[in-house]
Every structure is written in C-alpha cells, then in structure tokens.
Amino acid sequence: MRASQFLISTLKEAPADAEVASHKLMMRAGMIKKLGAGIYTYMPMGLRVIRKVEAIVREEMDRAGAVECAMPVVQPAELWQESGRFEKMGPELLRIKDRHDRDFVVQPTSEEVVTDIARQELRSYKQLPKNLYQIQTKFRDERRPRFGLMRGREFTMKDAYSFDRDQASAKKSYEAMAQAYRRIFDRFGLRYRAVAADSGAIGGDLSEEFQVIAATGEDAIVYSPESQYAANMEKAEALAPKGPRKAAAQAMQKVPTPGKSTCEQVAELLKVPLDTTVKSLVLATDRMDAQGGIVGTQVWLLLVRGDHDMNEIKVGKVPGLDVGYRFATVPEIEAHFGTRPGYLGPIALKQKVKIVADREVALMADWICGANEEGFHLTGVNWGRDLPEPDAVADLRNVVEGDPSPDGKGRLAIERGIEIGHIFYLGTKYSKAMNATFLDEDGKPKVFEMGCYGIGITRLPAAAIEQNHDERGIIWPDAIAPFTVVVCPIGMDRSAEVKTAAEKLHDELVAAGIDVMLDDRGERPGAMFADWELIGVPHRVVISDRGLKEGQVEYQHRRDAAATKTAVADIAAFLKGRLAA
C-alpha cells in the first residue's frame, strides 16, 4: 500500500472527551472517528486492525469446529418476549418500531435467535454437539458511553453458542472454547489472564473472563503468582482465617465518638488499628405473594472488618439473601436499631435482625462497632459473651493483596485488566424458557445444554493499546498491526535511488505477503516518523540517499531505542525472517 492512495489523518491533540490512552491514540492516529456518543466510524487505518482481529478469531473458531452464521442486527421482539428479556432488560436494549408499529430490537446479543434456530434445525442428538457463531454488529444503549471503543454503544462482537445433549458434553464444548480462546489471545500477542468469573445474571456454573492486563483496566484481577489460580474480584474467594477465635481480653465498653461515623474515623480517634473495627451494612429481603405484593420483610445486618470491602456478588449468594435483596430503608433501620445510620451495630437491637458475619469477623475478639446510639461506639465486643453467635458466617468481602490463595498455593496478588472475552456455561436457561428441545437417543425430547462465548472484536484494539503504548503513540503487536512494516523514504521526490530502493523493498515485501506501507507522501522526516510512531507500525525501514551511499538502510522496531544500520541487500530477507519467527 502506498500512503498517497490510503487515508492517513493524524492529529496533534486528542479531543477533550477522550480520557484514556487508547481512546486518545485511536482518535489521534485517525483509526476511528466519532459520529455520536459511543458511535464511531472505523476509518481505513482502524478497520485494518479490526479485520485482522476478526480473521484470527474466525480461523480459530473454525479450527475448534464452530460454524459461522450471521443473525440479523434488527430482530423482531417476539423471541425476546418469549425469553422474557424484552421486558427484563433496561434501556440499554435499543427498541424500535417499524412502519407497521411492530416492536423490534437492535441485537445486544443473540441467545434468543440462535436458540430459535437450534430448536428448528437441530432435531436429533445425532446433530449434536453444535457450536454456531457470528461476528456481527451489536448495540447497547449505555447510559454513559465512554473511552472510545472500550465502552461504545455500537460495537462488533464475536458471539458463539454451543448446543449439547447433556452436561458432560456441554462441559467438553466449554473446554474446547476455553482452549480456542487461549489460542486466539496467544496469537494476538497480548499479555492476558483467563480468570474464573461469576456467571451472574446469565446463569450457569462455569464462567471465565479473558482479561488483557493493563494498568488502566476497569476490572481487578486476582491471582496467585505461585500457582495457576486467577479470578476476578467478584469471584475470588476469601478463605476463612485459621481458627480458633482468640479469647476475650477486654470488657465491653461504650465510648463517645461524636461525629465519627466511619470505621476510619473511629480507629483514628481511638488510636487503634482499623482491623479491630467492624462495619455494619443493613439489607432487607421481601416476601411476595403470587401477585407480587409484599407480605413480609426480613431485615439483615452484615458485618465485615473495617479495612475490608463488601462484595455484592458474594452477598447475593448468602442463603436467604439469594432471593434478591435491597438496602433497608431509614424507617426500617430506625425500627430495628433505634437509631439512624452512622452508629449501627449488632448489640442492643429494638427488633431481631438476621446477623451474617464475614468469615474474618466471626473469628475476631475485642472488636469495635456502633452502639446503636448517635455519637457512641462499643469497644471490647466479643461473640458469645456480649452478643449471640452470628446467624450465619459467610465470605462477604473482596480479597486483598496478601490473602492466602484459595487453591492453598501462595498469597494473592491483584492487577488490573480489560475484559475482552468471556465464556459461560449457560445450562438450560434459554432452552427451557424457549422450549428448545431435540430428540435424544431414547426418542424423547430433551432441552439443550447451552454455552455462550463472546469476544469484543472492536474493544480488543483498544485493550491492546492500553497495554502497548508509550508517549509517542501506539505499539501494535505484529498480528494486529494495520501495517506490519512501514518504509520511509527520505527525499523520494528528489532522489531516483531512494525511490527505486523504496519501491523495490515495498514490492518484495508485498510479494512475500507482508503488509507493508510505503510512505510516498513527501512529508518531512520528522513529521513522517511522528505519524508512524503515533499509528504504531511495529517495523520501520528508513531509506535515505546518505545511507544508500554506504549501501545501508536503517531498521528500527517501534520498541527499539535507536535504529540499526542494515545492508540494503539484506533488509528484505531480514524482515521476512523476523516476521516469520
């Protein structure tokens, strides 16, 4: 490709609304162009990256035995009503009415459509297992689209859906995808981790996220440097500390703590370590009748150590809270605790509440908590003596650096990541809701066991940039660079030798199947180099009259501090060798 025939459009400054590096750099490098909030045109330079991502994903999905199809972007609402998602999903589901006032959605995913295909086309166990995938435009009407392609509204996703006759086979399909995902992310040339994840609202048991490691990532990744253990923060288990509980050493005492309602403030006031304090969180669960009317409410008090954070996913799994919980209202709190929020604790309650202690709190002695009286805390509190043992003990908190690894090997470390892939074992959630069955070997209809597997195709380039950039611009891994090599001739318009050498190298690399860009725009060297460093082409060859006189050109990898002189006769072979490796 010659630059004069391409569309190169770099900017000195990123637009004001670009906050993260990938967004700034993709805008400055002319890879994307904003059309509206969270809606971008993929410009020629950016589209080349996306097409390479797609090609690698497609190759590996095909290799794993998945079959590609393409489901409509605009989908009639009927199937979405059948699964219940048309009603359940919030405003992020973009709804449309056509000319006949019929309801449609722009697909955010395609579980409904693919399950509908399966129940019609996969009639016999002999056709199973089957994995159908698509690389298709999606839309999610995010409340706050931001970070460019990282959290856009329109985006491209690879979504795959597996159909199996039983759980054992479904787990094999899941495993095949887990392996394919590793091959895919290995080929991208990115540092990533596959981490155990909570399967969340989508249901099912097995779930892994593929996270590109980047300091700017939105997600916390928990791992053990001494083992294979890795999970996201929602999922990572905080093991119970080694017991037994220490014996009580202090008497319980009410101390004035006026205006000090947080654990941090109380610890500072009392000059005690934060980990001797206990935080209170008051939740409520409602019992409904068949019509959805509330017929009874249970109030819960959850306790975690003052230096720990509550984990909402874990809270949602506590028996009794797993039906769906809410924060208690101020009147509910006053009725049970006799005071307003700020100085709450488990002692001297007006009405009974269910107390759930974090594993850590359950083993504490001589701890500090609110006194249920404005301006006062209790110190020297002890289980069994000052209050009954908790109704339940559970893992309620986020892990922290140094916690023991749940697999028993080493201590946990935490780093940041960007989720670019997610694989789920779905079970029968959709197949049951949509009565999607096949005839099993015994001649009886049976619902499919399903899995679903996503890769954020257009998010991936952004994640790659977050991981690979410097102050001058992007540094693409070879596999997804818009061009692998850029040939920068200096004074191509003045020197026939430079022109000939540049074009010869370009043509030879093209013939070898290497994606090469010849910058024939006639820019000054400084501007030309700055453009390609911004755009992030990994391999650069500079051809100048002065160099050619010595029979040399200059090669520089985007990560190299300086250029290396290379014989002009050897450069093509050198690049071919380096890129084949």
Peptide bond into 244 cis (omega under 30): yes
Q: Is 130 in the site for a copy of itself (CB under 8 A)?
A: yes
Among 15, 81, 88, 92, binds a copy of itself (CB under 8 A): 92
Alpha-carbon gap, residue 314 to 326, rounded angstroms: 14
Beta bridge partners of 157: 136, 456
> Cβ of 269: how many Cβ atoms within 10 Å?
15
Does the protein bind a copy of itself through residue 106 (CB under 8 A)? yes
Question: Is the distance from CB of 145 to CB of 28 less than 8 angstroms?
Answer: no
Contact flag: residue 349 with a copy of itself (CB under 8 A): no
> Taking the mean position of all CA atoms in its chain, how far away is CA 413?
18
- Which range touches a copy of itself (CB under 8 A), out of 75-83, 245-253, 416-424, 447-455? 75-83
For position 148 contacting a copy of itself by CB under 8 A, the verdict is: no
- The answer to whether residue 459 forms part of the interface with a copy of itself (CB under 8 A) is no
Determine contact, residues 220/475, Cβ cutoff 8 Å: no
| Cβ-proximal residues to 160 (8 Å cutoff; 6+ apart), any chain | 61, 66, 131, 132, 133, 134, 177, 452, 453, 454
Under the binding rule (CB under 8 A), the answer on residue 68 touching a copy of itself is yes
Sorted by sequence, the CB contacts under 8 Å of residue 105 that are 6+ apart come out as 74, 75, 77, 80, 86, 93, 94, 95, 96
- Residue 59 interacts with a copy of itself (CB under 8 A): yes or no: no
Among 17, 35, 297, 327, indicate the residue that binds a copy of itself (CB under 8 A).
Answer: 35
Q: Looking at 4-12, 378-386, 420-428, 436-444, which segment touches a copy of itself (CB under 8 A)?
A: 4-12
Cα-based distances in Å from 386 to 173, 273, 334, 348, 389: 53, 21, 22, 10, 9
Contacts of 83-88 with CB under 8 Å at 24 or more apart are 83/111, 83/112, 83/115, 83/430, 83/433, 83/434, 84/433, 85/111, 85/112
17 binds a copy of itself (CB under 8 A): no
**Biggest alpha carbon–alpha carbon distance for the chain:** 94
Q: Given the complex with a copy of itself, which of 507 and 560 has the nearer CB atom?
A: 507
Alpha-carbon gap, residue 25 to 32, rounded angstroms:
10
Closer to a copy of itself by Cβ: residue 35 or 400: 35
Minimum CB distance to a copy of itself, residue 237 (Å): 36
Q: Smallest distance, Å, CB 67 to a copy of itself? A: 5
Contact with a copy of itself (CB under 8 A) among 42, 343, 438, 453 = 42
Which of these segments, 30-38, 262-270, 470-478, 479-487, binds a copy of itself (CB under 8 A)? 30-38
Number of residues that bind a copy of itself (CB under 8 A): 50
Which residue in 15, 55, 67, 400 binds a copy of itself (CB under 8 A)? 67
Interaction of residue 180 with a copy of itself, rule CB under 8 A:
no
Please pick, from the candidates 26, 53, 61, 132, the single residue that binds a copy of itself as defined by CB under 8 A. Answer: 132
Q: Does 143 bind a copy of itself (CB under 8 A)?
A: yes
Q: Closest approach of Cβ 37 to a copy of itself, in Å?
A: 8
84 near a copy of itself, judged by CB under 8 A: no
Interface residue with a copy of itself, options 15, 17, 55, 70 (CB under 8 A): 70
Q: Which of 14, 19, 59, 73 binds a copy of itself (CB under 8 A)?
A: 73
Q: Which stretch binds a copy of itself (CB under 8 A): 138-146, 255-263, 272-280, 542-550?
A: 138-146
CA dist., res. 112 & res. 194, Å (int):
27
CA pair distance 293, 58, nearest whole angstrom: 50
Indicate whether 172 belongs to the interface with a copy of itself (CB under 8 A).
Answer: no
Q: From the CB of residue 491, how many other CB atoms can be counted at a distance below 10 Å?
A: 16
- 76 near a copy of itself (CB under 8 A): yes
- Pick from 20, 26, 27, 43: which binds a copy of itself (CB under 8 A)? 43
Q: Does 351 bind a copy of itself (CB under 8 A)?
A: no
Q: Is 141 in the site for a copy of itself (CB under 8 A)?
A: yes
Residue 169 CA, chain-centre distance (Å), reads 27
CA distance 498 to 507: 14
State in angstroms the smallest separation of the CB of 57 from a copy of itself: 14
Contact 421, 210 (CB under 8 A): yes
Token readout for 266 is 């109380």
Answer yes or no whether residue 507 interacts with a copy of itself by CB under 8 A. no
Q: Which residues contact 578 (CB under 8 A, 6 or more apart)?
A: 539
Binding flag, residue 464, a copy of itself (CB under 8 A)? no
Among 55, 96, 215, 288, binds a copy of itself (CB under 8 A): 96
The answer to whether residues 219 and 378 touch, using CB atoms and an 8 Å cutoff, is no
Interaction of residue 12 with a copy of itself, rule CB under 8 A: no
Q: Are 210 and 194 in contact (CB under 8 A)?
A: yes
Of 87-95, 276-284, 510-518, 541-549, the segment contacting a copy of itself by CB under 8 A is 87-95
Smallest gap from Cβ 163 to a copy of itself, in A, equals 11
Among 7, 247, 249, 581, binds a copy of itself (CB under 8 A): 7
DSSP codes joined into one string, 139-202: E---SS-BTGGGB-SEEEEEEEEEEESSHHHHHHHHHHHHHHHHHHHHHHT--EEEEE---GGG
Q: Which is nearer to a copy of itself, 165 or 397 (CB)?
A: 165
Phi, psi of 294 (to 5 degrees): -80, 125
- Considering only 20, 28, 53, 75, the residue that binds a copy of itself (CB under 8 A) is 75
Using rule CB under 8 A, residue 80 touches a copy of itself: no
With contacts defined by CB under 8 A, name the span among 69-77, 180-188, 328-336, 508-516 that binds a copy of itself: 69-77
Part in contact with a copy of itself (CB under 8 A); list of ranges 131-139, 184-192, 538-546, 555-563: 131-139
Check residue 113 for interaction with a copy of itself (CB under 8 A): yes
Q: Which two tokens stand for residue 212?
A: 């590109």
Contact between residue 24 and residue 123 where contact means Cβ atoms under 8 Å apart:
no
Contacts with a copy of itself by CB under 8 A lie at 5-7, 9, 30, 33, 35-36, 39-44, 47, 50, 65, 67-76, 78, 91-92, 94, 96, 98-99, 104, 106, 113, 116-117, 120-121, 127, 130, 132, 137, 139, 141, 143, 153-154
